[in-house]
């Protein structure tokens, strides 16, 4: 079955190619602020389109904060950054109740989490209670302070950074929280040409120089419309079956003729199936198409699944990481 055939997927509300917005200016704007990290920038935009959150792993100094701030500026979204530390308290994130003796009442003072774009820096240095507070915000779009529930802005987008867990003072995030991140992105060093070009960016040579201030390309209403449009990108039935097979192969590889059972401790959950569909739709929209292709699925599969796949000690002993196991699955499962 042809995955690109519009008749494969129903839906009168599906957009046509002529209706799709051109998102290349957004990528160009981000690349003007952060050079040499196009995969990171494009995946951040895809996650935003898909309505998910992103976990970014990399050593310090790779412009992760600059990239997130540039995205917020380009979309005219309120941005807040929180430095996660071992002594951070949930109230430092969500806010707290303040007692006023004059009135005898408690008023709610909102925390920095009440923003559209939240950068949780070095998230794997914070204690479990703080992680739990962030988990509620990511999953429910709200925070609870005392007996009051505060809805977070729409859109609400969390980009969390973490240092590799081998570094001192870091702790692995619980599986339940990892599963709430749409993607986990691995950021490496830029190449030599990109590092040279970085020296000419505004505000890089002088750490105290103000960042370039340019008019936003979109606003909050446009972001909400883009998310709705992403959900209407067509996914053919054959591709839906392909995605389900990819996910199920991480749980029961023997059913697909894969000898990976000893290498996998825990496979991806059904939430991963939904995440892979949404991310593939976002990749298609960013590519200017109104339908998903197998290329879209394969392009985002590792980013969506690497943090949801727990490899065994045997895999560690063989020097295999989740990306290696996923590569074998992607190479084996037949593409429609």
Q: Last residue of a domain, which of 206, 224, 242?
A: 224
Nearest one of 162, 204, 153, 156 to 185, comparing CA atoms: 162
What's 65's domain CATH number?
3.40.50.300
For residues 33 and 11, membership in a common domain is answered with: no
Residue 45 pLDDT greater than 50, yes or no: yes
**What local confidence, expressed as pLDDT, does residue 177 receive?**
82
**What local confidence, expressed as pLDDT, does residue 213 receive?**
66
Does residue 1 lie within any of the structural domains? no
Q: Last residue of a domain, which of 224, 249, 281?
A: 224
For residues 172 and 320, membership in a common domain is answered with: no
Residue 3 pLDDT greater than 70, yes or no: no
Average pLDDT in the 30-55 region?
91
The residue with greater pLDDT, 89 or 17, is 89
Q: What Rg value do the Cα atoms of the chain yield, rounded?
A: 21
Does residue 205 lie within any of the structural domains? yes
Indicate the average pLDDT of the chain.
86
Residues in Cβ contact with 315 at an 8 Å cutoff, skipping those fewer than 6 apart: 262, 263, 264, 321, 324, 325
**What local confidence, expressed as pLDDT, does residue 6 receive?**
44
**What local confidence, expressed as pLDDT, does residue 171 receive?**
72
For residues 214 and 284, membership in a common domain is answered with: no
**What local confidence, expressed as pLDDT, does residue 103 receive?**
75
Domain that holds residue 86: 23-224
For residues 296 and 324, membership in a common domain is answered with: yes
Please state the pTM of the whole predicted model. 0.86
For residues 148 and 265, membership in a common domain is answered with: no
Average pLDDT in the 51-74 region?
88
For residues 46 and 11, membership in a common domain is answered with: no
Q: How many domains does the chain have?
A: 2
For residues 171 and 311, membership in a common domain is answered with: no
pLDDT confidence of 208, banded at 50, 70, 90?
A: very low
**What local confidence, expressed as pLDDT, does residue 169 receive?**
65
Residues in Cβ contact with 256 at an 8 Å cutoff, skipping those fewer than 6 apart: 245, 248, 249, 329, 332, 333
For residues 260 and 161, membership in a common domain is answered with: no
% the chain with pLDDT above 90: 49
pLDDT confidence of 97, banded at 50, 70, 90?
A: confident
For residues 145 and 252, membership in a common domain is answered with: no
What's 241's domain CATH number?
1.10.8.80
For residues 206 and 236, membership in a common domain is answered with: no
Please check whether residue 64 is in contact with residue 81, taking contact to mean a CB–CB distance below 8 angstroms.
Answer: no
For residues 51 and 146, membership in a common domain is answered with: yes
pLDDT confidence of 289, banded at 50, 70, 90?
A: very high
Average pLDDT in the 301-312 region?
94
User: Is the Cα dihedral 176, 274, 26, 114 positive or negative?
Assistant: negative
């Amino acid at each position: 079955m042809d995955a690109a055939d519009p008749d494969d997927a129903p839906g009168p509300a599906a957009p046509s190619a002529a209706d799709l917005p051109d998102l290349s200016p957004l990528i160009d704007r981000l690349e003007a602020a952060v050079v040499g990290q196009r995969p990171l920038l494009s995946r951040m935009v895809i996650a935003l389109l898909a309505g998910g959150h992103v976990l970014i792993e990399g050593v310090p100094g790779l412009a992760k904060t600059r990239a997130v701030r540039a995205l917020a500026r380009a979309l005219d979204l309120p941005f807040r950054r929180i430095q996660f530390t071992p002594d951070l308290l949930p109230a430092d994130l969500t806010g707290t109740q303040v007692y006023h003796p004059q009135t005898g009442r408690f008023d709610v003072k909102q925390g920095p989490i009440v923003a559209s774009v939240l950068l949780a820096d070095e998230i794997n240095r914070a204690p479990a209670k703080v992680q739990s507070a962030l988990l509620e915000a990511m999953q429910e779009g709200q925070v609870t302070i005392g007996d009051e529930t505060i809805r977070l802005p729409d859109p609400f987008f969390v980009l969390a950074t973490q240092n590799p867990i081998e570094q001192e003072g870091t702790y692995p995030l619980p599986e339940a929280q990892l599963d709430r991140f749409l993607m986990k992105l691995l950021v490496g060093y830029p190449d030599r040409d990109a590092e040279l070009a970085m020296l000419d960016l505004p505000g890089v040579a002088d750490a105290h120089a103000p960042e370039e201030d340019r008019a936003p390309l979109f606003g909050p209403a446009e972001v909400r419309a883009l998310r709705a449009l992403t959900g209407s990108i067509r996914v053919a039935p054959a591709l839906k079956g392909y995605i389900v097979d990819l996910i199920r192969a991480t749980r029961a590889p023997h059913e697909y003729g894969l000898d990976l059972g000893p290498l996998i401790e825990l496979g991806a959950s059904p939430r991963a199936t939904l995440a892979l569909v949404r991310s593939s739709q976002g990749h298609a929209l960013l590519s200017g198409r109104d339908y998903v292709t197998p290329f879209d699925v394969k392009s985002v599969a590792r980013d969506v699944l690497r943090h949801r796949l727990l490899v065994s000690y045997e895999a560690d002993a063989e020097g295999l990481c989740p990306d290696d196991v996923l590569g074998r699955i992607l190479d084996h499962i037949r593409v429609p």
